[in-house]
């Protein structure tokens, strides 16, 4: 096994749900030791959401969603509502390089764990807080979920068909993007600490990260009062650019031609080379003008083929094309398979379960992914091996309800 | 001015649209990021939609958006002399980021093997649609194609129409964030060991990580979660969350149980204050309000009542009432709304950047995150072609001005 890039980094993790969990997963999969703090008084929603028929309401350890999000971490019970937990918490803070959290802003402070308090215990601590809107401002403490970020950042407004209202996918958006920024901030802050000896507090907001994606539309509005709108699958710089019906039930293939070469190759592959110079379609601007007609002609051709055939025929001629894959297709995708992107891990409660691996591969220090912990699985290990708490003291704390 | 979180590092940015944001993020963290273009300027400068400069040239909005804070140089890395100059830059850099088709840099003699001999610490990060290896590695891709191939697109759109892409290039942006993270983790390792490495980002894989909950439902229960307009399905739970209002749309998650109780109670209260038909007036215990057990007809009546309320009010009114009443409504903001957003304004979120070529000062988001100690701010517009040639070639590489002039004449730069 290769070395891991973040070996030796210690993370105390109060994160939960998607943002908090995914942030530290990136670090743990690359070798950081991450202790996820859990308590029966505040069970992570990914341990309670019963997505599949096999999951039970009363078992926090049988949810594959938690498994996907918390690989390679340790889990420790610690009930912060119990006063005596502070004896352990202080030692955890001293142990840690980094503290991760994504509480509603203000919560850490209420718990007595604000940055100013924590740095009295550990002066060079790196603390990060993810949230919907950021730690300050009139909306800071408002309720936020993934869709909130999509709404406020302009993403939802621009997604869908021009003649209809906005739509959103059945997959998260800001909730999965923000963690990469927070994890990057952590690794950068570790380097800052190495150079200067100083820790810092990072405040990262989902809405603020997501707004960056629509800067072109913000500039368009400012510079010439042009308001970008929903445009279905069409974009200004390619035509055709859409998904086309294929043989079978609800089967589609995405096709895009950014250049005249790609357009010509598409026409040849469809067996209609004359179309390339057709006065309706000869240039990008003509194709944009006559896009309805263009899409109808292409659909006539794609309907005679399976989505896979369509993709392979077009890719072989240098035309960007891809099957609109379902989860069933993803599980069989030869590219993902060849890259060992989905791996099976054995979990003591759930058994074999497929997991996505980090989509950024460090070639020399490949991520090593261990199955996610059962709730509180490592409480004793952390106390005795990492914090040096004696068996006697552990029992005493246990009786006081610290580890619940 | 406070420090940036990273300093003393340098990145060479060879990317096209797929990777612009990677260098942009790096630059915002304090890494000196040098965007390398072909002499005469990158062709993606012309990608539509464009603005027209004072000189009558077209400049791409996408280019402007995702190349802020970079230095700009021109260099023909396909010419023998250009390659040598590039190698000298690699000696003085920490990162190379690129988004060519896999194998292209190897073919022109600038692959990782060659560059790591010149600088063993170099980190080479590649952003491609399907990754560096595998049967589809040489497939052509784009935001649309990887969205299709990842399963994201299959879950988006109206059931009676084809699947639809996401408005912004979300997967591209997400992949760039993944590339930054991978690069920084690799850098952490390099500091410890002196060893650089390759970081291989697959846009398809980045997008597949988003489908986690749908993958699980397929793996264990063999059910497919398909596109369903305004309803978000996570596992076994579906929530309507997009609603029309008087002048646009709002986000409001209609959920039962204790999670939805505070907002449901506040909505019901407002409906009755407005004197509208209130199907909720019988409900006393909102914690027990269980969406799954409500008959469809009743749910429709409830949703109609909520729709009527929203349709009476503008986005602005709904946002204000939401704050006052705890309704948990978020406006589905359009680009113009975002520029007026009070939360962003209160956090000093905007940088005002000068664009002499357009005769404009334009607002850009200022940062990706805030820190008490460091200022990771976006401070400069995207570079003009070759804007920083003199600084990079003379100050960093130590060429003389006359050597620079020769390179210019030979169209190397």
Q: Is residue B8 predicted with pLDDT exceeding 90? A: yes
Model confidence pLDDT, tens digit, residues B137-160 = 999 999 999 999 999 999 999 999
Output DSSP code: residue B276: -
- As a whole number, mean pLDDT of residues A60-70 equals 97
Cα(A364)–Cα(A117) distance, integer angstroms? 39
Per-residue pLDDT at A154: 98
Q: Write phi, then psi, for B166 (nearest 5 degrees).
A: -80, 145
Give the residue among B24, B61, B63, B363 at the shortest CA–CA distance from A216: B61
Q: List, in sequence order, every residue forming a beta bridge with A126; answer none if it has no partner.
A: A98
- pLDDT tens track for A114-162: 999 999 999 999 999 999 999 999 999 999 999 999 999 999 999 999 9
Residue B186 lies in a domain: yes
- List, for residues B45-96, the tens digit of each pLDDT value: 999 999 999 999 999 999 999 999 999 999 999 999 999 999 999 999 999 9
| B155 belongs to a structural domain | yes
B333, B357, B382: which is the final residue of a domain? B333
CATH code, domain with B51: 3.40.50.10540
Relative to beta strand B242-245, strand B248-251 is antiparallel
The answer to whether residues B327 and B369 belong to one domain is: no
End-to-end CA distance of chain B: 34
Of all residues in chain B, the one with the smallest CA distance to A315 is: B139
> Are residues B383 and B327 both part of a single domain?
no
CA diameter of chain B: 86
Position B383 in a domain: yes
pLDDT value, residue A1: 80
Side-chain-side CA neighbours of residue B377 (13 Å): 18
Per-residue confidence (pLDDT) for residue A145, from 0 to 100: 93
From chain A, the residues in CB contact with B370 under 8 A are 134-135, 202-204
pLDDT of residue B294: 87
The answer to whether B169 is a known catalytic residue is: yes
Residue A331 — pLDDT band, cuts 50, 70, 90? very high
Contact B369 A181 (CB under 8 A): yes
Cα three-residue angle A12-A15-A16, rounded to 5 degrees: 145
**pLDDT mean over A22-36:** 98
List of chain B residues whose C-beta atoms are within 8 Å of the C-beta of residue A236: 48-49
Kind of pairing between the strands at A10-13 and A33-38: parallel
Confidence of residue A104 (pLDDT cuts 50, 70, 90): very high
Whether B339 has its CB under 8 Å from any CB of chain A: the answer is yes
The confidence score (pLDDT) of residue B1 equals 78
Q: Is residue B110 part of a domain?
A: yes
Distance CA B180, CA B30 (A): 13
Contact A142 B323 (CB under 8 A): yes
Cross-chain Cβ contact A65/B235 below 8 Å? yes
Is the distance from CB of B365 to CB of A212 less than 8 angstroms? yes
pLDDT band at B292 (very low <50, low <70, confident <90, very high): confident
Strands B231-234 and B58-60 turn out to be unpaired
- Residues B248, B200, single domain; the answer is no
Residues 179-198 (B) with a CB less than 8 A from some CB of A: 179-182, 184-189, 191, 193, 195, 197-198
Cβ B343–A30 below 8 Å, yes or no?
Answer: no
Q: Kindly state whether residues B168 and B30 are assigned to the same domain.
A: yes
Say yes or no: B99 and B179 in one domain. Answer: yes
Percent of chain A whose pLDDT exceeds 70: 100
Residue B296 structure tokens: 């469809």
Instruction: Count CB neighbours of A400 within 10 A.
Output: 15
User: Phi-psi category of A401—alpha, beta or left, where left has phi over 0 and alpha has psi -120 to 50?
Assistant: left
Q: B226 lies in a domain? A: no
Residues B324-342 have pLDDT tens digits of 999 999 999 999 999 999 9
DSSP tag of A238? B
Find the residue in B nearest to A240 (Cα): B144
Pairwise CB contact (< 8 Å): A362 & B189: yes
Chosen domain end from B333, B355, B377: B333
Same domain, B205 and B281: no
A365/B226 touch (CB, cutoff 8 Å), yes or no? no
Out of B42, B169, B200, B388, the active site residue is B169
**Which residue, B301, B333, B365, sits at the end of a domain?**
B333
In this structure, the answer to whether residues B198 and B296 fall within a common structural domain is no
Residues of chain A numbered 63-122 and touching chain B (CB < 8 Å): 64-65, 68-69, 115
Q: What is the mean pLDDT of residues A53-65?
A: 94
For residue A157, which of B183, B323, B402, B166 has the smallest C-alpha distance? Answer: B166
Provide the token pair at B335: 């680009």
Tell me the pLDDT tens digit for each residue of A341-365.
999 999 999 999 999 999 999 999 9
Task: Check whether residue B58 and residue B178 sit in a common domain.
Answer: yes
Task: Give mean pLDDT, residues B105-125.
Answer: 98
- Evaluate whether residue B1 is within a structural domain: no
Asked whether residue B280 falls in the same domain as residue B400, the answer is no
Domains, chain A, ranges and CATH? 10-212+339-399 (3.40.50.10540), 241-326 (3.30.1540.10)
- Give residue B284's pLDDT: 87
Long-range contacts of A284-291 (CB under 8 A, 24+ apart): A284/A237, A284/A238, A284/A239, A284/A260, A287/A239, A287/A240, A287/A257, A287/A263, A288/A234, A288/A236, A288/A239, A291/A234, A291/A239, A291/A240
Q: Which residues of B touch A354 (CB under 8 A)?
A: 215, 219
Whether residues B26 and B160 fall in one domain: yes
* B56, HSE (Cβ side, Cα atoms, 13 Å): 0
Whole-angstrom Cα distance, residue B10 to residue B85? Answer: 16
| Same structural domain, B255 and B403 | no
Interface predicted TM-score (ipTM) of this complex, two decimals: 0.98
CB pairs under 8 A between A and B: 506
Specify if B360 maps to a domain. yes
CB contact under 8 A, A252 and B163: yes
Kindly list the residues from chain B whose CB atom is less than 8 angstroms away from the CB atom of residue A56.
none
Please give the Cα distance from B142 to B228 (Å, whole number): 24
Which of B145, B181, B323 is nearest residue A256 as measured by Cβ atoms?
A: B145
pLDDT attached to residue A197? 98
B229, part of any domain = no
Beta strands at B32-37 and B71-74: parallel, antiparallel or unpaired: parallel
Strand stretches in A152-264, DSSP E: 201-205, 241-245, 252-256
Provide the β-strand partners of residue B12: B34, B96
Q: Which of A190, A217, A222 lies at the smallest CB-CB distance from B188? A: A190
In this structure, what token pair is assigned to residue A236?
Answer: 């200004």
Using pLDDT thresholds of 50, 70 and 90, give the confidence band for residue B293: confident
Torsion on CA atoms A18, A23, A24, A25, rounded to nearest 10: 70
- Cβ neighbours of A68 in B, within 8 Å: 212, 215-216
In this structure, are residues B155 and B125 in contact, taking their beta carbons and an 8 Å threshold?
no
**Which CATH number belongs to the domain containing residue B312 in this structure?**
3.30.1540
Q: Do B369 and A203 touch (CB under 8 A)?
A: yes
Q: In the prediction, which pLDDT does B236 show? A: 84
Q: Which residues contact B40 (CB under 8 A, 6 or more apart)?
A: B74, B385
Which domain range does residue B381 map to?
10-209+347-409
Lowest mean pLDDT among A375-384, B114-123, B298-307: B298-307
Q: Which residue has the tokens 């940055």?
A: A115
Contact between A187 and B188 using a beta-carbon 8 Å cutoff: yes
Q: What is the pLDDT of residue B290?
A: 85
Predicted confidence (pLDDT) at residue A266 exceeds the cutoff of 90: yes
The neighbouring-strand residues paired with B409 are none
Number of domains in chain B: 2
Using CB atoms, pick whichever of A177, A200, A358 lies closest to residue B374. Answer: A200
- B299 and B356 inside one domain: no
End-to-end CA, chain A: 36
């Amino acid at each position: 096994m290769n070395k891991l890039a973040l070996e030796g980094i210690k993370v105390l993790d109060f994160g939960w749900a998607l943002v908090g969990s995914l942030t530290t997963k990136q670090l743990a999969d690359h070798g950081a030791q991450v202790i996820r703090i859990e308590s029966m008084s505040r069970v992570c929603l990914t341990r309670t959401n019963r997505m599949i028929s096999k999951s039970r309401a009363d078992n926090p350890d049988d949810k594959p969603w938690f498994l996907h999000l918390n690989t390679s971490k340790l889990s420790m019970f610690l009930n912060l509502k119990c006063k005596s937990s502070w004896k352990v918490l202080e030692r955890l803070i001293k142990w840690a390089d980094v503290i991760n959290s994504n509480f509603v802003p203000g919560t850490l402070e209420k718990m007595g764990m604000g940055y100013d308090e924590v740095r009295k215990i550990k002066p060079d601590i790196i603390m990060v807080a993810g949230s919907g809107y950021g730690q300050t401002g009139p909306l800071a403490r408002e309720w936020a979920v993934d869709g909130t970020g999509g709404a406020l950042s302009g993403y939802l407004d621009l997604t869908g068909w021009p003649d209809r209202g906005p739509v959103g996918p059945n997959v998260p958006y800001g909730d999965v993007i923000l963690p990469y920024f927070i994890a990057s901030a952590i690794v950068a802050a570790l380097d800052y600490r190495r150079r200067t000896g100083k820790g810092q507090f990072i405040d990262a907001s989902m809405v603020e990260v997501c707004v960056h994606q629509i800067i072109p539309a913000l500039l368009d509005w400012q510079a010439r009062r042009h308001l970008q709108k929903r445009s279905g699958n069409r974009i200004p710089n390619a035509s055709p650019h859409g998904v086309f019906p294929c043989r079978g039930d609800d089967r589609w293939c995405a096709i895009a031609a950014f250049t005249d070469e790609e357009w010509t190759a598409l026409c040849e592959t469809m067996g209609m080379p004359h179309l390339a110079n057709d006065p309706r379609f000869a240039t990008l601007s003509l194709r944009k003008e006559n896009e309805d007609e263009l899409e109808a002609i292409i659909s006539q051709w794609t309907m005679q083929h399976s989505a896979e055939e369509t993709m392979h025929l077009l890719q072989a001629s240098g035309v960007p094309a891809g099957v609109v894959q379902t989860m069933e297709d993803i599980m069989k995708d030869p590219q993902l398979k060849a890259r060992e992107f989905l791996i099976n891990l054995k979990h003591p409660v759930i058994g074999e379960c497929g997991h996505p691996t980090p989509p950024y591969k460090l070639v020399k220090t490949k991520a090593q992914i261990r199955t996610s912990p059962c709730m509180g699985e490592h409480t004793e290990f952390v106390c005795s091996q990492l914090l040096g708490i004696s068996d006697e003291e552990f029992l005493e704390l246990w009786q006081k309800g610290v580890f619940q | 001015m406070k420090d940036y979180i990273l300093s003393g590092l340098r990145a060479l940015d060879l990317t096209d649209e797929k990777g612009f944001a990677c260098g942009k993020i790096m630059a915002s963290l304090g890494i000196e990021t040098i965007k390398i273009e072909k002499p005469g300027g990158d062709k993606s400068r012309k990608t539509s939609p464009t603005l027209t400069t004072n000189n009558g040239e077209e400049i791409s909005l996408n280019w402007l958006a995702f190349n802020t804070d970079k230095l700009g140089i021109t260099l023909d890395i396909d010419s023998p002399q250009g390659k040598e100059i590039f190698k000298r830059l690699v000696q003085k850099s920490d990162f190379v980021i690129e988004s060519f088709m896999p194998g292209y840099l190897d073919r022109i003699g600038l692959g990782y093997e060659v560059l790591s001999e010149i600088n063993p610490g170099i980190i080479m990060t590649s952003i491609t649609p399907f990754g560096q290896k595998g049967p589809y590695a040489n497939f052509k891709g784009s935001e649309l194609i990887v969205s299709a191939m990842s399963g994201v697109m299959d879950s988006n759109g109206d059931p009676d129409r084809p699947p639809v892409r996401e408005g912004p290039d979300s997967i591209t942006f997400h992949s760039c964030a993944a590339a930054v993270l991978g690069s920084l983790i690799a850098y952490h390792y390099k500091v410890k060991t002196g060893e650089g490495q390759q970081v291989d980002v697959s846009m398809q894989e980045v997008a597949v990580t988003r489908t986690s909950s749908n993958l699980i439902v397929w793996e264990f229960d063999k059910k497919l979660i398909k596109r369903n307009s305004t309803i978000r399905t996570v596992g076994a739970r579906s929530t309507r969350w997009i609603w029309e209002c008087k002048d646009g749309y709002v986000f409001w998650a209609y959920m039962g149980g204790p999670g939805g109780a505070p907002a449901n109670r506040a909505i019901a209260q407002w409906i009755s204050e407005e004197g509208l038909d209130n199907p909720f007036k019988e409900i006393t215990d909102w914690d027990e309000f269980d969406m799954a057990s409500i008959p469809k007809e009743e749910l429709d009546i409830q949703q109609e009542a909520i729709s009527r309320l929203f349709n009476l009010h503008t986005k602005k009114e709904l946002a204000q009432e939401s704050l006052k009443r705890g309704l948990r409504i978020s406006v589905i903001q359009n680009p113009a709304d975002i520029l007026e957003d009070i939360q962003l304004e209160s956090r000093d979120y905007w940088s005002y950047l000068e664009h002499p070529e357009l005769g404009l000062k334009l607002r850009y988001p200022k940062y990706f995150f805030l820190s008490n100690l460091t200022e990771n701010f976006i401070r400069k517009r995207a570079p003009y072609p070759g804007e920083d040639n003199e600084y990079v070639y003379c100050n960093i590489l130590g060429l003389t001005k006359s050597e620079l002039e020769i390179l210019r004449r030979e169209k190397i730069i």
